[in-house]
Protein backbone atom coordinates (compact mmCIF):
# COMPACT_ATOMS: atom_id res chain seq x y z
CA UNK A 1 0.00 0.00 0.00
CA UNK A 2 1.11 3.49 -0.68
CA UNK A 3 0.61 4.47 2.94
CA UNK A 4 3.16 1.87 4.00
CA UNK A 5 5.64 2.39 1.24
CA UNK A 6 8.35 4.95 1.84
CA UNK A 7 9.49 5.97 -1.58
CA UNK A 8 12.99 7.23 -2.25
CA UNK A 9 12.61 10.88 -3.25
CA UNK A 10 15.32 12.61 -5.23
CA UNK A 11 15.15 16.42 -5.05
CA UNK A 12 17.06 17.80 -7.97
CA UNK A 13 17.19 21.62 -7.94
CA UNK A 14 17.29 23.16 -11.42
CA UNK A 15 20.87 24.11 -12.28
CA UNK A 16 21.28 27.88 -12.30
CA UNK A 17 23.77 29.40 -14.71
CA UNK A 18 24.29 33.14 -14.31
CA UNK A 19 26.54 35.39 -16.32
CA UNK A 20 27.59 38.72 -14.78
CA UNK A 21 29.38 41.31 -16.92
CA UNK A 22 30.77 44.38 -15.15
CA UNK A 23 31.93 47.28 -17.30
CA UNK A 24 34.44 49.80 -16.02
CA UNK A 25 36.57 52.15 -18.17
CA UNK A 26 39.63 51.69 -15.98
CA UNK A 27 39.35 47.91 -15.38
CA UNK A 28 38.85 44.93 -17.63
CA UNK A 29 35.48 43.27 -17.81
CA UNK A 30 34.93 40.69 -15.07
CA UNK A 31 33.12 37.52 -16.26
CA UNK A 32 31.63 35.27 -13.58
CA UNK A 33 29.88 31.93 -14.26
CA UNK A 34 27.95 30.42 -11.35
CA UNK A 35 26.71 26.84 -11.46
CA UNK A 36 24.51 25.45 -8.69
CA UNK A 37 23.62 21.74 -8.75
CA UNK A 38 21.21 19.86 -6.51
CA UNK A 39 22.23 16.89 -4.41
CA UNK A 40 20.25 13.67 -4.34
CA UNK A 41 19.88 11.75 -1.06
CA UNK A 42 18.65 8.14 -0.89
CA UNK A 43 16.02 7.36 1.76
CA UNK A 44 16.14 4.03 3.63
CA UNK A 45 13.47 2.32 5.73
CA UNK A 46 13.48 4.00 9.14
CA UNK A 47 13.54 0.89 11.33
CA UNK A 48 15.92 -1.72 12.72
CA UNK A 49 16.28 -4.44 15.38
CA UNK A 50 16.91 -3.19 18.91
CA UNK A 51 19.28 -5.41 20.90
CA UNK A 52 19.59 -9.15 20.42
CA UNK A 53 16.74 -11.46 19.35
CA UNK A 54 14.86 -13.24 22.12
CA UNK A 55 14.96 -17.01 21.56
CA UNK A 56 12.82 -19.56 23.40
CA UNK A 57 13.83 -23.20 22.97
CA UNK A 58 10.58 -25.04 23.63
CA UNK A 59 9.89 -28.78 23.81
CA UNK A 60 8.36 -28.94 20.33
CA UNK A 61 9.25 -25.62 18.68
CA UNK A 62 11.59 -22.63 18.61
CA UNK A 63 10.18 -19.12 19.11
CA UNK A 64 12.10 -16.04 17.95
CA UNK A 65 11.08 -12.46 18.80
CA UNK A 66 12.65 -9.20 17.62
CA UNK A 67 12.28 -5.81 19.31
CA UNK A 68 12.09 -3.05 16.67
CA UNK A 69 12.79 0.66 17.05
CA UNK A 70 9.60 1.69 15.26
CA UNK A 71 6.34 -0.07 14.43
CA UNK A 72 7.02 -3.14 12.34
CA UNK A 73 5.54 -3.16 8.81
CA UNK A 74 7.37 -6.09 7.19
CA UNK A 75 7.70 -9.87 7.44
CA UNK A 76 9.52 -12.49 9.52
CA UNK A 77 10.13 -15.72 7.62
CA UNK A 78 12.39 -18.75 7.31
CA UNK A 79 15.10 -18.25 4.71
CA UNK A 80 14.10 -19.85 1.43
CA UNK A 81 10.45 -20.42 2.51
CA UNK A 82 8.88 -16.99 2.05
CA UNK A 83 6.06 -18.40 -0.11
CA UNK A 84 5.01 -20.84 2.61
CA UNK A 85 2.42 -19.14 4.83
CA UNK A 86 3.23 -21.50 7.70
CA UNK A 87 6.85 -20.33 7.67
CA UNK A 88 6.11 -16.59 7.51
CA UNK A 89 4.60 -14.13 9.99
CA UNK A 90 3.01 -10.96 8.62
CA UNK A 91 1.79 -9.36 11.87
CA UNK A 92 2.38 -5.62 11.77
CA UNK A 93 1.77 -2.44 13.71
CA UNK A 94 3.72 -3.41 16.85
CA UNK A 95 7.23 -2.91 18.16
CA UNK A 96 7.72 -6.68 18.42
CA UNK A 97 7.96 -9.12 15.49
CA UNK A 98 8.51 -12.84 15.75
CA UNK A 99 7.79 -16.34 14.52
CA UNK A 100 7.31 -19.83 16.00
CA UNK A 101 8.94 -22.77 14.21
CA UNK A 102 7.72 -26.30 15.03
CA UNK A 103 10.42 -28.94 14.73
CA UNK A 104 8.62 -30.87 11.99
CA UNK A 105 8.03 -27.95 9.61
CA UNK A 106 9.83 -25.13 7.76
CA UNK A 107 12.98 -27.11 7.05
CA UNK A 108 14.07 -26.96 10.69
CA UNK A 109 17.32 -28.91 10.86
CA UNK A 110 18.21 -31.45 13.53
CA UNK A 111 21.77 -32.63 14.01
CA UNK A 112 22.80 -35.23 16.53
CA UNK A 113 25.79 -34.55 18.72
CA UNK A 114 27.76 -37.23 20.51
CA UNK A 115 29.99 -34.95 22.57
CA UNK A 116 28.14 -33.41 24.36
CA UNK A 117 25.35 -35.88 23.81
CA UNK A 118 22.17 -34.32 22.48
CA UNK A 119 20.52 -32.71 19.45
CA UNK A 120 21.08 -29.34 17.76
CA UNK A 121 17.92 -27.80 16.28
CA UNK A 122 18.65 -24.94 13.89
CA UNK A 123 17.08 -22.63 11.32
CA UNK A 124 17.79 -19.33 9.56
CA UNK A 125 15.24 -16.56 10.15
CA UNK A 126 15.00 -13.34 8.12
CA UNK A 127 13.39 -10.12 9.37
CA UNK A 128 12.41 -7.85 6.49
CA UNK A 129 11.22 -4.32 7.26
CA UNK A 130 9.71 -3.51 3.86
CA UNK A 131 6.27 -4.96 2.95
CA UNK A 132 7.30 -5.92 -0.58
CA UNK A 133 11.08 -5.90 -0.97
CA UNK A 134 14.32 -6.93 0.73
CA UNK A 135 16.38 -3.83 1.58
CA UNK A 136 19.73 -3.04 3.19
CA UNK A 137 18.29 -2.75 6.72
CA UNK A 138 16.98 -6.36 6.72
CA UNK A 139 18.80 -8.98 8.79
CA UNK A 140 19.17 -12.79 8.75
CA UNK A 141 19.88 -14.75 11.94
CA UNK A 142 21.08 -18.34 12.30
CA UNK A 143 19.07 -19.70 15.26
CA UNK A 144 20.30 -22.80 17.08
CA UNK A 145 19.03 -24.59 20.18
CA UNK A 146 20.79 -27.48 21.87
CA UNK A 147 18.80 -30.15 23.72
CA UNK A 148 21.08 -32.18 25.95
CA UNK A 149 20.30 -35.82 26.45
CA UNK A 150 19.70 -36.71 30.08
CA UNK A 151 21.98 -39.33 31.60
CA UNK A 152 20.14 -42.12 33.39
CA UNK A 153 21.92 -44.45 35.77
CA UNK A 154 20.41 -47.77 36.82
CA UNK A 155 21.94 -49.48 39.86
CA UNK A 156 21.34 -52.66 41.80
CA UNK A 157 22.95 -54.31 44.83
CA UNK A 158 24.94 -57.44 44.13
CA UNK A 159 26.63 -59.54 46.78
CA UNK A 160 29.83 -61.30 45.71
CA UNK A 161 31.83 -63.61 48.00
CA UNK A 162 35.24 -62.25 48.98
CA UNK A 163 37.09 -65.20 47.49
CA UNK A 164 35.63 -64.34 44.08
CA UNK A 165 36.41 -60.62 44.09
CA UNK A 166 37.84 -59.36 40.83
CA UNK A 167 39.04 -55.87 40.00
CA UNK A 168 38.06 -54.42 36.64
CA UNK A 169 39.38 -51.19 35.16
CA UNK A 170 37.29 -49.39 32.53
CA UNK A 171 38.36 -46.45 30.41
CA UNK A 172 35.74 -44.30 28.67
CA UNK A 173 36.81 -43.12 25.21
CA UNK A 174 34.83 -40.11 23.88
CA UNK A 175 33.23 -40.57 20.48
CA UNK A 176 34.58 -38.46 17.62
CA UNK A 177 32.90 -35.19 16.59
CA UNK A 178 32.25 -34.85 12.86
CA UNK A 179 31.57 -31.92 10.56
CA UNK A 180 30.73 -31.28 6.91
CA UNK A 181 32.21 -28.38 4.90
CA UNK A 182 32.22 -27.24 1.29
CA UNK A 183 35.58 -25.64 0.48
CA UNK A 184 36.66 -23.34 -2.31
CA UNK A 185 38.82 -25.00 -4.95
CA UNK A 186 40.19 -28.00 -3.06
CA UNK A 187 40.71 -29.77 0.28
CA UNK A 188 42.77 -26.86 1.66
CA UNK A 189 40.40 -24.09 0.57
CA UNK A 190 38.29 -21.84 2.75
CA UNK A 191 34.64 -22.72 3.53
CA UNK A 192 32.29 -21.15 0.99
CA UNK A 193 28.61 -20.36 1.53
CA UNK A 194 28.06 -18.18 -1.57
CA UNK A 195 29.31 -19.62 -4.86
CA UNK A 196 28.79 -19.10 -8.57
CA UNK A 197 27.36 -21.68 -10.94
CA UNK A 198 30.18 -23.93 -12.22
CA UNK A 199 32.66 -22.93 -9.52
CA UNK A 200 35.01 -25.72 -8.41
CA UNK A 201 34.41 -26.75 -4.79
CA UNK A 202 35.47 -29.60 -2.53
CA UNK A 203 33.00 -31.50 -0.32
CA UNK A 204 34.87 -32.52 2.82
CA UNK A 205 33.84 -34.60 5.83
CA UNK A 206 36.14 -34.80 8.87
CA UNK A 207 35.90 -36.32 12.33
CA UNK A 208 38.08 -35.33 15.29
CA UNK A 209 38.94 -37.86 18.00
CA UNK A 210 40.98 -37.70 21.19
CA UNK A 211 42.47 -41.11 20.41
CA UNK A 212 44.59 -42.23 17.48
CA UNK A 213 44.04 -45.26 15.27
CA UNK A 214 40.84 -46.22 17.11
CA UNK A 215 37.90 -45.31 14.89
CA UNK A 216 36.90 -45.29 11.23
CA UNK A 217 34.28 -43.19 9.49
CA UNK A 218 31.91 -43.91 6.60
CA UNK A 219 29.89 -41.20 4.84
CA UNK A 220 26.56 -42.31 3.40
CA UNK A 221 22.91 -41.36 2.82
CA UNK A 222 23.56 -37.85 1.45
CA UNK A 223 20.73 -35.69 0.15
CA UNK A 224 20.35 -32.16 -1.21
CA UNK A 225 17.11 -30.18 -1.17
CA UNK A 226 15.95 -26.70 -2.06
CA UNK A 227 14.08 -25.99 1.17
CA UNK A 228 10.70 -26.39 -0.54
CA UNK A 229 10.31 -30.14 -0.27
CA UNK A 230 12.25 -31.28 -3.34
CA UNK A 231 14.94 -33.61 -2.00
CA UNK A 232 17.41 -35.52 -4.18
CA UNK A 233 19.59 -38.41 -2.99
CA UNK A 234 23.21 -38.12 -4.17
CA UNK A 235 24.88 -40.83 -1.98
CA UNK A 236 23.03 -44.05 -1.18
CA UNK A 237 22.96 -45.88 2.16
CA UNK A 238 26.17 -47.73 1.19
CA UNK A 239 28.03 -44.46 0.58
CA UNK A 240 28.10 -44.83 -3.22
CA UNK A 241 27.53 -41.94 -5.62
CA UNK A 242 24.42 -41.96 -7.81
CA UNK A 243 25.24 -39.24 -10.35
CA UNK A 244 28.81 -38.59 -11.47
CA UNK A 245 27.86 -35.12 -12.74
CA UNK A 246 26.64 -34.07 -9.29
CA UNK A 247 29.06 -35.89 -6.95
CA UNK A 248 31.45 -38.73 -7.74
CA UNK A 249 32.42 -41.58 -5.41
CA UNK A 250 34.13 -40.24 -2.32
CA UNK A 251 37.84 -40.52 -1.63
CA UNK A 252 39.13 -41.39 1.84
CA UNK A 253 42.63 -39.93 2.31
CA UNK A 254 42.60 -40.82 6.02
CA UNK A 255 40.76 -42.92 8.57
CA UNK A 256 38.61 -39.95 9.61
CA UNK A 257 38.56 -37.88 6.41
CA UNK A 258 36.53 -38.11 3.20
CA UNK A 259 36.00 -35.76 0.28
CA UNK A 260 35.44 -35.20 -3.41
CA UNK A 261 35.78 -32.37 -5.93
CA UNK A 262 32.78 -31.20 -7.91
CA UNK A 263 31.29 -28.10 -9.52
CA UNK A 264 28.54 -25.91 -8.12
CA UNK A 265 25.05 -26.59 -9.45
CA UNK A 266 21.61 -25.32 -8.47
CA UNK A 267 17.90 -25.95 -8.83
CA UNK A 268 16.05 -24.14 -11.60
CA UNK A 269 14.97 -20.68 -10.37
CA UNK A 270 16.18 -21.48 -6.84
CA UNK A 271 19.52 -20.59 -5.31
CA UNK A 272 19.46 -22.34 -1.92
CA UNK A 273 21.03 -25.79 -1.49
CA UNK A 274 20.63 -27.69 1.79
CA UNK A 275 22.96 -30.69 2.10
CA UNK A 276 22.58 -33.42 4.71
CA UNK A 277 24.67 -36.57 5.14
CA UNK A 278 25.10 -39.32 7.69
CA UNK A 279 28.49 -40.21 9.14
CA UNK A 280 28.84 -43.57 10.86
CA UNK A 281 31.65 -44.27 13.31
CA UNK A 282 32.97 -47.84 13.55
CA UNK A 283 35.76 -49.38 15.60
CA UNK A 284 38.96 -49.97 13.70
CA UNK A 285 40.24 -53.52 13.73
CA UNK A 286 43.81 -53.88 15.04
CA UNK A 287 46.43 -53.90 12.27
CA UNK A 288 43.76 -53.60 9.59
CA UNK A 289 42.61 -50.90 7.20
CA UNK A 290 39.34 -49.09 7.71
CA UNK A 291 36.40 -50.56 5.76
CA UNK A 292 35.52 -48.47 2.73
CA UNK A 293 32.53 -48.51 0.36
CA UNK A 294 32.96 -50.84 -2.60
CA UNK A 295 31.24 -48.83 -5.30
CA UNK A 296 30.93 -49.15 -9.05
CA UNK A 297 31.49 -46.19 -11.34
CA UNK A 298 28.38 -43.99 -11.02
CA UNK A 299 26.31 -43.33 -14.10
CA UNK A 300 25.20 -39.92 -15.33
CA UNK A 301 21.81 -38.56 -14.29
CA UNK A 302 21.42 -41.27 -11.68
CA UNK A 303 20.40 -39.00 -8.78
CA UNK A 304 16.82 -39.66 -7.79
CA UNK A 305 14.17 -38.01 -5.74
CA UNK A 306 14.11 -39.53 -2.31
CA UNK A 307 11.04 -41.10 -0.80
CA UNK A 308 10.65 -39.78 2.74
CA UNK A 309 8.85 -42.89 3.95
CA UNK A 310 11.66 -45.10 2.65
CA UNK A 311 14.20 -42.86 4.32
CA UNK A 312 12.44 -43.23 7.63
CA UNK A 313 12.56 -47.01 7.28
CA UNK A 314 16.31 -46.88 6.57
CA UNK A 315 16.98 -44.85 9.70
CA UNK A 316 15.02 -47.34 11.75
CA UNK A 317 17.54 -50.07 11.06
CA UNK A 318 16.71 -53.66 12.02
CA UNK A 319 18.10 -55.08 15.21
CA UNK A 320 20.62 -57.20 13.30
CA UNK A 321 22.27 -54.01 12.07
CA UNK A 322 22.21 -52.12 15.32
CA UNK A 323 25.44 -53.63 16.63
CA UNK A 324 29.03 -52.56 16.16
CA UNK A 325 30.22 -55.26 13.80
CA UNK A 326 33.77 -56.44 14.17
CA UNK A 327 33.87 -59.03 11.36
CA UNK A 328 33.47 -58.49 7.66
CA UNK A 329 30.62 -60.86 6.99
CA UNK A 330 29.35 -59.10 3.87
CA UNK A 331 30.66 -57.28 0.85
CA UNK A 332 28.31 -54.35 1.31
CA UNK A 333 29.11 -51.22 3.28
CA UNK A 334 25.87 -51.60 5.24
CA UNK A 335 27.48 -54.50 7.09
CA UNK A 336 29.93 -52.09 8.73
CA UNK A 337 27.53 -49.23 9.51
CA UNK A 338 26.67 -48.84 13.17
CA UNK A 339 23.34 -47.05 13.36
CA UNK A 340 23.75 -46.47 17.09
CA UNK A 341 26.81 -44.31 16.33
CA UNK A 342 25.59 -42.44 13.27
CA UNK A 343 25.27 -38.66 13.23
CA UNK A 344 23.74 -36.18 10.81
CA UNK A 345 25.89 -33.39 9.37
CA UNK A 346 24.53 -30.47 7.37
CA UNK A 347 25.77 -27.63 5.17
CA UNK A 348 24.02 -24.76 3.41
CA UNK A 349 25.18 -23.24 0.12
CA UNK A 350 23.79 -20.43 -2.03
CA UNK A 351 24.51 -20.73 -5.76
CA UNK A 352 24.12 -17.73 -8.05
CA UNK A 353 24.27 -17.36 -11.81
CA UNK A 354 26.64 -14.89 -13.49
CA UNK A 355 25.63 -13.63 -16.93
CA UNK A 356 28.22 -14.08 -19.66
CA UNK A 357 30.15 -10.95 -20.61
CA UNK A 358 29.11 -9.55 -23.99
CA UNK A 359 31.98 -8.38 -26.27
CA UNK A 360 32.18 -4.64 -26.68
CA UNK A 361 31.58 -3.38 -30.25
CA UNK A 362 34.51 -2.04 -32.23
CA UNK A 363 34.68 1.78 -32.29
CA UNK A 364 34.76 1.59 -36.11
CA UNK A 365 31.96 -0.88 -36.56
CA UNK A 366 28.66 0.19 -38.00
CA UNK A 367 26.87 -0.89 -34.82
CA UNK A 368 28.79 1.74 -32.86
CA UNK A 369 26.94 4.52 -34.62
CA UNK A 370 23.39 4.08 -33.52
CA UNK A 371 20.51 6.28 -34.47
CA UNK A 372 18.66 5.51 -31.23
CA UNK A 373 17.35 8.77 -29.73
CA UNK A 374 18.76 9.87 -26.37
CA UNK A 375 16.14 10.71 -23.76
CA UNK A 376 16.92 13.28 -21.09
CA UNK A 377 14.84 14.84 -18.34
CA UNK A 378 13.49 18.38 -18.54
CA UNK A 379 15.92 19.55 -15.84
CA UNK A 380 18.89 18.28 -17.81
CA UNK A 381 17.53 19.84 -21.01
CA UNK A 382 17.21 23.23 -19.30
CA UNK A 383 20.76 22.86 -17.99
CA UNK A 384 22.11 22.14 -21.48
CA UNK A 385 20.30 25.14 -23.00
CA UNK A 386 21.49 27.40 -20.18
CA UNK A 387 25.05 26.19 -20.63
CA UNK A 388 25.09 27.02 -24.35
CA UNK A 389 23.53 30.41 -23.69
CA UNK A 390 26.22 31.15 -21.13
CA UNK A 391 28.87 30.00 -23.61
CA UNK A 392 27.40 32.30 -26.27
CA UNK A 393 27.43 35.26 -23.87
CA UNK A 394 31.02 34.46 -22.97
CA UNK A 395 32.08 34.55 -26.64
CA UNK A 396 30.20 37.81 -27.10
CA UNK A 397 31.92 39.34 -24.08
CA UNK A 398 35.34 38.27 -25.37
CA UNK A 399 34.61 39.82 -28.78
CA UNK A 400 33.51 43.06 -27.09
CA UNK A 401 36.72 43.15 -25.03
CA UNK A 402 38.85 42.51 -28.13
CA UNK A 403 37.08 45.24 -30.16
CA UNK A 404 37.53 47.81 -27.42
CA UNK A 405 41.20 46.92 -27.03
CA UNK A 406 41.74 47.24 -30.80
CA UNK A 407 39.98 50.65 -30.93
CA UNK A 408 42.15 52.04 -28.14
CA UNK A 409 45.31 50.82 -29.91
CA UNK A 410 44.32 52.54 -33.22
CA UNK A 411 43.62 55.86 -31.48
CA UNK A 412 46.99 55.72 -29.72
CA UNK A 413 48.77 54.96 -33.04
CA UNK A 414 47.10 57.93 -34.87
CA UNK A 415 47.93 60.26 -32.01
For the chain of 415 residues, list the mean pLDDT of each consecutive stretch of 10: 32 37 40 38 83 92 94 92 91 91 88 77 92 88 87 63 54 82 96 94 94 91 87 94 94 96 90 92 88 91 65 37 37 56 90 63 46 59 82 86 72 59
Cα–Cα distance, 13 to 191 (Å, whole number): 49
pLDDT of residue 161: 57
* Structural contact between residues 87 and 104, judged by C-beta atoms closer than 8 angstroms: no
pLDDT of residue 6: 33
DSSP-assigned beta bridge partners for residue 217: 281
pLDDT of residue 160: 58
pLDDT of residue 48: 92
Record the pTM. Answer: 0.54
pLDDT of residue 398: 86
List CB contacts of 144: < 8 A, sequence separation 6 or more. 120, 121, 122
Amino acid sequence: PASRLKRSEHNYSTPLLTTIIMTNPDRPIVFVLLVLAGVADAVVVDNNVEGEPEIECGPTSITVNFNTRNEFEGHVYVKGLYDDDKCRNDQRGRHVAGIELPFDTCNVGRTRSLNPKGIFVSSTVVISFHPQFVTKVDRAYKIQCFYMEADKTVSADLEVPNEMSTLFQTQIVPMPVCQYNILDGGPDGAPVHLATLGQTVYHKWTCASETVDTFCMIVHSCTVDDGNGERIQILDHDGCALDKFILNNLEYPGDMTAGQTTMVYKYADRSQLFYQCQVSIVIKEPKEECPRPQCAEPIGFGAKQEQIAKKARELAAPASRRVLRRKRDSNTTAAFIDYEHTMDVRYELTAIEIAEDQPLPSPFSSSSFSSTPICVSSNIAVSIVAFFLALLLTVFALILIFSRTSGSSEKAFKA
